[in-house]
Amino acid sequence: MSDSYTVTDPSGNSVELPKVQGTLGPPAVDVRKLYASTGGFTFDPGFTSTCSCESGITYIDGNEGVLLYRGYRADELAKKSNFIEVCYLLLNGELPTKAEYDEFESAIRMHTMINESLKRFFTGFHYDAHPMAMLSSIVGGMSAFYHDTTNTSDPEHRTIFARRMIAKIPTIAAAAYKYSVGQPLVYPSNDLDYCSNFLRMMFAVPAEEYAVDPVAAEALDVLFILHADHEQNASTSTVRLAGSTGCNPYAAMASGISALWGPAHGGANEAVLNMLNQIGSVDNIDQYIAKAKDKSDPFRLMGFGHRVYKNFDPRATVIREHCHKVLKAYGGDSDGKLELAMRLEEIALKDEYFVEKKLYPNVDFYSGIIYKALGIPTNMFTPMFAIGRTVGWVAHYLEMVSDPGMRIGRPRQIYTGADERAYTDIGSR
Ligand code: CMC
């Protein structure tokens, strides 16, 4: 097989472009020299056929429904590992030894508190502010606090930054929730594991004892593992693009949180539950399926479809199994949301429109049902995604800044505006 591609422009001029091949996945044509050789660009809005970087962190085979973190299947990790071990794996490339795990886990526990001044940021928000607005602002605000971790050429700075981000994001998310319900912020407790600590910060109040439910902590651990990374998704690409300018690392993380918020990305989990509420009952499913298929109607089946998965989303399969387990422990499907979601999935998967377009339930379709059963309010669903995805953003950011060949991300465009013209004086227009 040839190790280059030949591109011929309309005038018949040809240029040889190298082939790039990763360890897994399809080959790519390296177009970096295209402009210099031909004076032309490539055009790919939405990046449907464009690789923005090389990365050794996560691999997705969208046709087979495979998701690998550093070579390990995410669904296997969800069964056998835990979130902190997965964080170590994503950051370092290998599973930790027992000593490495203990050191890492203890370091995450010890970095959970946020600077006391950051607490005051919350009171600047209106009580009904969306927690994602608070999350991105406060993480961006961390840029002004942690000056000892911004030299990305220093491995020690990079390590402290990574640990700080992973350790503090649950504290900030829980504080955003507490502020929105008018309750005192709960400080982290370093004798608890990552997920138990988060649940306590979310739900404990000073007036009562709080006992963490291990079923809830386990469910969160699985969800965080399955959300931990997803290669060059929109928020991770945003982190890379922002970070490529050399901006403060916390500012790059804040940009990722903002990108995650949209309903086409991490905001879909919140949108799924709102959609299930809107559909209301199994009797109305056909009507909403018809709306989703109607091109003149903006309604889409939220939690369905994916840019990369064209078979099934392996994360959705694991989450659906966990849904049953969590609902069993929490008194069943009392409001019928799981039944409604399962029936909707069943009907959509038999519908020609969804079959032909290869639209399957994605990670966000069932996660909200678990969050809801655990008492997590709908507007906190996307912050939950952000907690899990923080390690992915950090791993990609660090991979990028450690690459000596890193360049600022700067796409080109096809200009469709006015041709050059002369300025006319306001009185003559
Ligand atoms: N409901 C109805 N039609 C859909 C849906 C849907 N959920 N998703 C895609 N389509 C149709 C779309 O209208 C298009 O039809 P046509 O070819 O006739 O124009 C075709 O399927 C391809 O869709 P697309 O929008 O071009 O595909 P994309 O790769 O650009 O977008 C997506 C992927 C996830 C944004 C989209 O499927 C979608 O909006 N899904 C609903 C939102 C959602 O669940 N997002 C979470 C994604 S997974 C978690 C994450 O990444 O954060």
| Per-residue pLDDT reduced to its tens digit, 108-129 | 999 999 999 999 999 999 988 9
Task: Give me the pLDDT at residue 399, please.
Answer: 98
272 lines ligand 1 (CB under 6 A): no
**Do the beta carbons of residue 85 and residue 68 sit within 8 Å?**
no
Cβ atoms of residues 227 and 58 within 8 Å:
no
Look at residue 147 in the predicted model and tell me its pLDDT. Answer: 87
Does the beta carbon of 256 lie inside 6 Å of ligand 1? no
**pLDDT given for residue 397 in this prediction:** 98
In the reported structure, the alpha carbon of residue 264 is separated from the centroid of ligand 1 by a whole-number distance in angstroms of 8
Please say if the pLDDT value at position 1 is more than 70.
no
- In angstroms, what is the span from residue 357 Cα to ligand 1's centroid? 9
Residue 338 has pLDDT above 90, yes or no: no
Residue to probe by mutation, ligand 1, list 306, 344, 365, 387, most atoms within 8 Å of CB: 306
The helix/strand count (H/E) of the chain reads as 18, 6
Q: What is the mean pLDDT of the chain?
A: 94
Other C-beta atoms lying within 10 Å of the C-beta of residue 357 = 13
Ligand 1 center to residue 304 CA distance, Å? 7
Helix residue spans in 93-246 (DSSP H):
98-110, 116-123, 131-141, 155-180, 194-203, 214-227, 234-243
CA distance 270 to 380: 8
Instruction: Find residue 28's DSSP bridge partners.
Output: 20
User: How close is the Cα of 238 to the center of ligand 1, in Å?
Assistant: 19
CA distance 142 to 165: 10
Ligand 1, atom 13, residue with closest C-alpha:
295
Q: Measured from the CB, is residue 386 less than 6 Å from ligand 1? A: no
Confidence of residue 350 (pLDDT cuts 50, 70, 90): very high
Helix (H/G/I), strand (E/B), else coil: 72: strand
Structure confidence at residue 38 (pLDDT): 87
Contacts of 321 (CB under 8 A, 6+ apart): none
Q: What is the mean pLDDT of residues 360-369?
A: 90
306 lines ligand 1 (CB under 6 A): yes
Pick the atom of ligand 1 nearest to 265's CA. 52
- Bridge partners, residue 304, by sequence: 361
Q: Locate 244 and state its tokens.
A: 């490529």
Q: 265 CB less than 6 Å from ligand 1?
A: yes
> By alpha-carbon position, which residue is closest to atom 26 of ligand 1?
307
- If you write DSSP's letter for every residue of 190-206 in order, what string do you get? TTS-HHHHHHHHHH--T
Mean pLDDT of 245-270: 96
Give residue 205's identity as a one-letter amino acid code.
V
Average pLDDT over residues 197-208: 97
Q: What is the pLDDT of residue 323?
A: 86
The Cα–Cα gap between 188 and 201 comes to 6
E strand residue ranges, 286-418: none
Cβ proximity of 179 and 155 under 8 Å: no
